[in-house]
Amino acid sequence: MRRRVNLLLLSLFICSIICLPNFSLAINGRTNILQELDINLVTTDGTPQISCRQIRTFKANNMSTYITQIEIRGNYMYMLNFYYGLHILDITNRSDPISVGVIEIPGLSTGFTVDGDYAYVQSSTVFYVVDISDRSAPVSVGNLAKSYDGQNGISVRGNFVYDRGSIINVTDKTNPEIVDSYNTCYHGVSKVVGDYLFYSDSNYLHMADLTNATNPIDTSNITAGKSADAIEYHNGLVFVQSFYDVDYGVKIIDATDPYNLTLVAETDNASYADDLIYNNGYVYTNTWRLSALNVTNPEAPTFIIHLHNKELIYSIGMSEFYVYISMKDSDLIVASVGYDKDGDGLNDVEETTVFLTDPNNPDSDGDGYLDGEEVVAGTDPLDKRDHPRTNNFSNSYIVIPFAIAAIYCITHLFTKKRK
């Protein structure tokens, strides 16, 4: 009897050596697993600031290697392919874009904007008016011979398009025509905000009154660096990114007084960008990699670099807390991004609105796994019994008793034969 008990204990000991490591749970030091899960947690002075969690990669039909611009309107995302044309994607489910339509644009597609049921696209030699009322079958309805003037930088107000120095009347969509011009430069951009037009030339950012849509009247200007090629506006502040030389970096300009543009602050992030997007206290930029500028205090902005590990980002778009990143290799990366108070890999907004986890607790269900880790693994961050290890070894509760019984029987038979 004693021999059998000893054999049973030995069997249990052997099984514990094999199986127990699979069930070791510890929250300490688990933040280093986030990067392995395509979650990048960027900190400032040791305090978690922003998490960027890659959700998936996506390749639309006919997408080649150069998506130069992304615009989002409602539940649709529009992407301009430098070599092909305009792609339309349905993002009703923000984390799962679906390609619904595409139109080939002859030549090199250099910039576009969307207004209602129309997209206005500039190619290397022609300005196109594209009817997008049927997103699955966009069609060109009008065009105008107009030469290549750099990339991006097109904006629209009513029946007038401001295309890098040209004012185009699109009242008749089938017959657009240039009615006037304003002074800009090769990489200059234009952005309409209400009754004002912000545009850049080789050295300055201009603010112009659009009371007369065909005759913008400058009200103020300010040094913005050489060829500012990205402009964003939020609540009286203009964010400008320059293109060349020592003027790399984002300038924050107070535009509350149209007659007195005032520099608030500037950064030195040592790279240029084609996109600036304001979202919930941060300005996101594609400075080769996805980066963000904390502008909750505009007078003391803090740059947070390398939110995503991929390099050579061509363009970015944002909707809610989702960011869409176009890469050199033609992949479109979908990620969630935002302030992450507890450093668990989920930003605070998605914790409170999507997963209903605790934004102040990195392990909401107390099972030893970070909330972000569980979301990536597909387990429930609110159920202590459901965690990555139980998924990976869900059959262990069945296997272990049989393993113990098998080992016991084999050793028992072996000892009986020896007798």
Q: Answer yes or no: is pLDDT of 25 > 60.
A: no
Question: How high is the mean pLDDT of the chain?
Answer: 81
Output the pLDDT for position 152: 62
Surface-to-core class of residue 245, CB atoms within 10 Å of its CB (0-12 exposed, 13-18 middle, 19+ buried) = exposed
CA angle 120, 73, 57 (to 5 degrees): 105
Please check whether residue 158 is in contact with residue 115, taking contact to mean a CB–CB distance below 8 angstroms: no
Model pLDDT for residues 326-373, shown as the tens digit of each residue: 877 667 889 999 888 888 989 998 999 899 999 999 999 999 899 999
- pLDDT range class, residue 20, cuts 50, 70, 90: very low
Q: Of 212, 221, 215, which is closest to residue 188 (Cα–Cα)?
A: 221
Segment 91-130, tens digit of pLDDT: 999 999 999 999 999 988 888 999 999 999 999 899 999 9
pLDDT at residue 164, rounded to an integer? 80
- Smallest CA-to-CA distance from 15 within 401, 412, 395 is with 401
pLDDT at 181 over 80: yes
Whether residue 379 is predicted with pLDDT greater than 60 in this model: the reply is yes
Angle at the Cα of 187 (from 61 to 115), degrees rounded to 5? 55
- Beta-carbon contacts of 150 under 8 Å, excluding residues fewer than 6 positions away, are 110, 111, 164, 185, 186, 187, 188, 229
SS3 313: strand
pLDDT of residue 230: 84
Length of the chain as a residue count? 419
On whether the pTM is more than 0.75, the answer is yes
Judge contact between 213 and 222, C-beta under 8 A: no
- Distance of alpha carbon 175 from alpha carbon 123, whole angstroms: 17
Q: How many of the other CB atoms lie within 10 Å of CB of 113?
A: 25
C-beta separation of 337 from 52 below 8 A: yes
